[in-house]
Amino acid sequence: MAKSSPGDHEFLDPDEWESWGALMMLHRSVLQRLDAELRRNHDLAVTEFDVLITLFNAPDHRLGMSALADRVLLSPAGTTHLVTRLERDGMVRREIDPADRRKWFTVLTEEGDLALRAARRTHNDVLRRTLLAVTTPSDRQTLRRLWQRLSEEQLHPLSPPD
For 111-142, the pLDDT digits (tens) are 999 999 999 999 999 999 999 999 999 999 99
* Crossing angle between the packed helical segments 46-57 and 65-72, to the nearest 10 degrees: 120
64-89 confidence digits (pLDDT tens): 999 999 999 999 999 999 999 999 99
Q: Helix crossing, 14-42 with 110-129: angle to 10°?
A: 130
What total of structural domains would you count in the chain? 1
Q: Quick check: is 104 in a domain?
A: yes
Residue 158 domain flag = no
Confidence of residue 31 (pLDDT cuts 50, 70, 90): very high
**Residue 134 located in a structural domain:** no
**5 or 58: which carries more pLDDT confidence?**
58
CB 71 within 8 A of CB 54: yes
Segments forming the whole domain that contains residue 93: 43-127
57 within some domain: yes
Q: What is the CATH number of the domain that holds 110?
A: 1.10.10.10
Contact 94, 83 (CB under 8 A): yes
Per-residue pLDDT band for 47 (boundaries 50, 70, 90) equals very high
Whether 156 has a pLDDT exceeding 80, the answer reads no
Residue 18 domain-assigned (yes or no)? no
Give the confidence band of 102 by pLDDT, cuts at 50, 70, 90: confident
Which pLDDT value is given to residue 80?
94
Characterize the bridge pairing of strands 92-96 and 104-108. Answer: antiparallel
Q: Is the Cα dihedral 146, 150, 156, 162 positive or negative?
A: positive
In 39-144, beta strands by DSSP E: 62-64, 92-96, 104-108
| Residues constituting the chain | 162
Whether residue 161 is predicted with pLDDT greater than 60 in this model: the reply is: no
Mean pLDDT of all residues in the chain? 92
Residue 106 placed within a domain: yes
- The CB density around residue 125, as the number of other CB atoms within 10 Å, is 13
User: Which pTM value belongs to this model?
Assistant: 0.84
